[in-house]
Structure 1
Amino acid sequence: MSTKRVTLADVAARAGVSKTAVSLILNNRPGSRLSEDAVARVQEAAEALRYRPNPAARSLRLGRTTTIGFISDEVTVTRFASAMIRGLLDVADEHDHGVLIAETGQHPKRFEDALEFMIDRQVEGIAFGSLTARQIDLRPLPATIRTVGVNCTSDTLQATVLPAEEVAGRAIAQSLLDAGHRRIAIIGNAPIACSDPRISVTIPFRLEGINAALRDAGVDPVAVLDFEEWEPWHGYDATSELLRSGTPFTALICLNDRIAFGAQQALQKAGLEVPQDVSIASFDDDEIASYMRPGLTTARLDYEQMGRRAMELLLGTDTPEGQHLVPMEVQVRGSIASLA
């Protein structure tokens, strides 16, 4: 089987027109004055021969590479966050751009190597992605390269795309308040993460939204349990501790779904049912949230929409700038019972 690239000349020979006519038609150039029959023959020939434009020649003609770079820490290897790449690729495809992807695992040398790789290939822009919303170290880049942070920030980025955490925090707390809950405990307060942007730039806003909603309702949390890691066993231990304390509560706000999963296990071990005895609301909409029984009401961390928005900024007509917040829609499931 031949691997020879199909050329404009091949398409022209099959369609019975000149190479110039093929170029005018396939590149949608106005004013070509070619007949509808010629246009149809060229399009049919290109499809039959599976013609693909030569990217190098196209870059020379357009004066740009139509290529975007994406450098992430561990987004590509994490199923929960990989939707970010899908969003980036979908928008790039809509604009006939390609994407070069590099994963660094948070290793500084890999990051610099990936950055040099992208610069050497003259990408038009670079999206920097992170699994967790944090501040990254990024040196100043050439002014010709557009830069957007996806779920991350840096003083050298032109724009950032982040989840709208404060609004989500308010919405999750309000979902419990609207159901009549007033004895609410918060599981997963993270003092260190809230004070160090290299750990998180958004968790403080998540908590601020929760506390603002409770404060507006005249409700003080009955308990706030602090810990920095958010895994199921932390939720299990914290909820077990809360139960042993004898503090009365009817609802838990868990700072992520993995904590909520552990909390539910602790409640079940104590003979309590969700939501009949205790309601739970959470954040992220991790895959585990829909597997829980009942399903977990949670605010979705929409990686796909963050990816889409970042690529839209990179490919827009204006230089990207400022902070752009992507809504975290509350996924209403069965983990909240009404006390009314």
Structure 2
Amino acid sequence: MPPQRATLLQVAQRAGVSRSTASFVLAGRHQDMRISEDARQRVLRAAQELDYRPNLMARSLRTKVTKTVALISDTLASDPYAGRAIHGSLAAAVAHGHLLFIGETEGDLVVEEKLIADFLDRQVDAFIYACMFTRYVRVPQQLKGRPVVLLNCLTRAARPAHHAVIPDEIGAGWSAARTLIAAGHRDSIHLVGDPARHVLAGRERLAGLREGLSADGSKLAGIIECDWWPEPAYEAVTRALTSGLTPRALVCLNDRVALGAYQALHEAGRSVPADVSVLSFDDSDLAAWLRPPLTSISLPHYQLGWQAVELLLGPAQAPAVHRVPMPVRLRASV
């Protein structure tokens, strides 16, 4: 049997004060209630001696506030890299005196509906609706009218009903262009990957890259299309090199694509960066492990999570899309 939890009445009796006085002291309201310093010290000492902890469930029933936030994602929580967004959300929640509950759906709408219902049954105050990959979503009907911030996702509404926090992929593409230009690249710059229209990150990275090159009077020489994985990238770059392509710089749509490009260049006898500069996006652990270490533009997962909670629990403001900057991590591949 667990030990009996000390009650507020027991604290008050030990301190020799009324129950309401003990309550005001422990709620930090001793000054506005004009409670003497001696009484305040007696209450605090009694609470410590009795190991008193307030009954948060009872308090939430009175105030209708539980100081809890639920983060619901598809697969964000189980990814060790993108999971940094969870760490950022957790740190911000703690800074606001809140607990963070985490639920993962793996994209199953039935599981999602059940999770949301369970969180609502527990009177969660607010929600973060998150996605592993930046994409457009429909906010579940169960969350209508409740405080919600979208993390790494957007809605197509002309007037957004919720804040959305996403990476600044267009700015990242621009930064990629400016990094190459600063290194002296003006031509023979090729993109590696498939910037398909349905992949928001690829589409925006390409748009930003083109804008950044155009601002300097340059342009992209071409696109080596492939899926965003090492083996397809290796095969696509190998074919391009075999057909006579002589790129001076490759911009890879993520670090896995860059790994495949590295392998193809090495087999073709092309040195990185002496013969070909390689730049990428995401800044996963892979970027630092490659040899030479890969210059990559970082996905700011921690900052995304932190800002989502700040918008949820901070001062009220009109819903908007918030783009978080993606910093360039300069290494030895450019």
Q: Do they superpose with TM above 0.5?
A: yes
Q: Among the aligned pairs, what percent are the same residue? A: 39
Report the CA distance between 1:25 and its aligned residue: 2.1
1:292 is matched with which residue? 290
Query: What does residue range 35-74 of structure 1 map to in structure 2 within 5 Å?
Result: 35-47=36-48, 49-74=50-75
2:325 is matched with which residue? 327
Query: What does residue range 37-116 of structure 1 map to in structure 2 within 5 Å?
Result: 37-47=38-48, 49-116=50-117
State the SS of the aligned residue for 1:189: coil
- Alignment partner of 2:253 out of 250, 255, 260: 255
Determine if contact 2:71/2:101 at 8 Å carries over to the other structure.
Answer: yes
1:278 is matched with which residue? 276
State the SS of the aligned residue for 2:192: strand
State the SS of the aligned residue for 1:321: coil
- Alignment partner of 1:269 out of 267, 270, 275: 267
Rounded to whole Å, the distance in 2 between the matches of 1:67 and 1:223 is 50
Residue 48 and residue 173 in structure 1: after superposition, are their counterparts in 2 closer, same or farther (change >3 A)?
Answer: farther
2:303 is matched with which residue? 305
Determine if contact 1:127/1:310 at 8 Å carries over to the other structure.
Answer: yes
- Alignment partner of 2:167 out of 163, 166, 184: 163
Rounded to whole Å, the distance in 2 between the matches of 1:234 and 1:3 is 61
State the SS of the aligned residue for 1:318: coil
Report the CA distance between 1:3 and its aligned residue: 3.9
Of 283-292 and 14-23, more deviation after overlay is shown by 14-23
Rounded to whole Å, the distance in 2 between the matches of 1:327 and 1:5 is 48
Can you give the 5+ residue segments of structure 2 that lack an aligned partner in the other structure? Answer: none
Rounded to whole Å, the distance in 1 between the matches of 2:326 and 2:296 is 9
TM-score, with structure 1 as normaliser? 0.89
Count of matched residue positions in the alignment of Structure 1 and Structure 2: 329
1:137 is matched with which residue? 138
The RMSD of aligned alpha carbons is: 2.1
Rounded to whole Å, the distance in 2 between the matches of 1:43 and 1:268 is 69
Aligned-partner residue type, residue 274 of structure 1: V
Of 137-146 and 122-131, more deviation after overlay is shown by 137-146
Residue 11 and residue 332 in structure 1: after superposition, are their counterparts in 2 closer, same or farther (change >3 A)?
Answer: farther
Residue 80 and residue 217 in structure 1: after superposition, are their counterparts in 2 closer, same or farther (change >3 A)?
Answer: same
Determine if contact 2:116/2:142 at 8 Å carries over to the other structure.
Answer: no
Report the CA distance between 1:243 and its aligned residue: 1.3
Rounded to whole Å, the distance in 1 between the matches of 2:267 and 2:56 is 61
Report the CA distance between 1:54 and its aligned residue: 1.5
1:150 is matched with which residue? 151
Aligned-partner residue type, residue 170 of structure 2: E
Report the CA distance between 1:120 and its aligned residue: 2.5
Aligned-partner residue type, residue 175 of structure 2: A
Aligned-partner residue type, residue 203 of structure 2: P
Determine if contact 1:222/1:247 at 8 Å carries over to the other structure.
Answer: no
Report the CA distance between 1:102 and its aligned residue: 0.9
1:5 is matched with which residue? 5
Report the CA distance between 1:41 and its aligned residue: 4.4
- Alignment partner of 1:189 out of 188, 194, 215: 194
Rounded to whole Å, the distance in 2 between the matches of 1:38 and 1:275 is 72
Rounded to whole Å, the distance in 2 between the matches of 1:49 and 1:304 is 39
Rounded to whole Å, the distance in 2 between the matches of 1:323 and 1:231 is 29
Deviations 1:225-247 (A, max 9, x none): 123x3111122122212211212
Report the CA distance between 1:164 and its aligned residue: 0.7
Report the CA distance between 1:141 and its aligned residue: 4.2
Residue 127, structure 1, aligned to residue 128, structure 2: yes
Can you give the 5+ residue segments of structure 1 that lack an aligned partner in the other structure? Answer: none
Residue 273 and residue 43 in structure 1: after superposition, are their counterparts in 2 closer, same or farther (change >3 A)?
Answer: farther
Of 313-322 and 97-106, more deviation after overlay is shown by 313-322
TM-score, with structure 2 as normaliser? 0.90
Report the CA distance between 1:48 and its aligned residue: 5.2
Deviations 1:204-239 (A, max 9, x none): 221100011112222232330123x31111221222
Rounded to whole Å, the distance in 2 between the matches of 1:226 and 1:82 is 29
State the SS of the aligned residue for 1:127: strand
Report the CA distance between 1:44 and its aligned residue: 4.6
Rounded to whole Å, the distance in 1 between the matches of 2:109 and 2:191 is 36
